[in-house]
Amino acid sequence: MRRTWLAVLILPVAAAMAVPAAASAAPAAPKAAVAAQSTARVTASQPVLWPGARGSAVRNLQRRLAQLKYYPGAADGHFGSNLEEAVWAFQETQGLPGEDQVTAAFWRALAHPRAPKVLVPRGGGMRIEISLAREVLVLYNHNQVELISHVSTGGHYYYCSHGGCGYAVTPTGNFRTRSFMPGWVTVPLGYMFNPVFFIGTAFAIHGDVPVPLQPVSHGCVRIPMDIAAFFHKLIRVPGTPVYIRNY
């Protein structure tokens, strides 16, 4: 949750609303063959990449991250904001330093990635797990990872707004999705895009700009705008378990 202007968000919102489902379309080849092919592409020497880069190496990176259930956007060979946020999510999941560059260490991890740490093994076939320590959200469906997203949670600062004053802390515990509101929603603490509420109509998983590497929200769970455009379609509202942990 936050207070900010809306004018600069018109273009990101328009782009986000055109986003399809969470992972890129799977090719017709068998899964094992696809995995072997993707792994082979990232085990060789790869260039250092950063936002703004273009080319086949960027496209391979996008395809590999999509295969692993991150959301890098379309495999268009352009290192844009969608890919940057997927890179952050991968770094956070793998325990790599959060940075914009895709380095040799990143490529090595991408060739042999670790699955995200399971926070609640028996939490339900469909569930949302959020790690405040890593700033990562993982959505499971049928106990399989469906989406991994970078998030920004409570920044642990003191704030005052029309809704009162308090400390910016994301609550930990076991919750469930309660309601969804489309588009930009105004609440006492600020603005949210496509919020999925898990505590009343105060705390939500919602789109916002920015969603930086640091925790900066008033207490909600910010997700990138491109993911917020379709996140509510991947879950049950109401009723999907939401587990938030400090580790």
pLDDT tens digits, one per residue of 43-83: 547 999 999 999 999 999 999 999 999 999 999 999 999 99
* Over residues 85-108, mean pLDDT: 96
pLDDT tens digit string along 135-181? 999 999 999 999 999 999 999 888 887 767 888 999 999 999 999 99
What pLDDT score does 41 carry? 55
What pLDDT score does 161 carry? 76
pLDDT more than 90, % of the chain: 73
pLDDT tens digit string along 185-224? 998 777 899 999 999 998 999 999 999 999 999 999 999 9
**Cα-based distances in Å from 105 to 108, 199, 240:** 5, 39, 36
Residue-range domains of the chain with CATH = 29-111 (1.10.101.10), 119-245 (2.40.440.10)
What pLDDT score does 13 carry? 33
* Ranges assigned E (strand) in 44-189: 127-131, 136-141, 144-150, 158-161, 164-167, 173-176, 179-180, 184-187
What pLDDT score does 160 carry? 83
Q: Is the peptide bond before 212 cis (omega within 30 degrees of 0)?
A: no
Exposure of 236 by Cβ count < 10 A (0-12 exposed, 13-18 middle, 19+ buried)?
exposed
Task: Give the tokens for residue 93.
Answer: 């999941």
SS3 content of the chain, % helix, strand, coil (to 5): 25, 30, 45
Q: 3-class DSSP state for residue 131?
A: strand
Look at the block and give the residue holding tokens 């260490």: 105
Q: CA nearest 184: which of 22, 72, 17?
A: 17
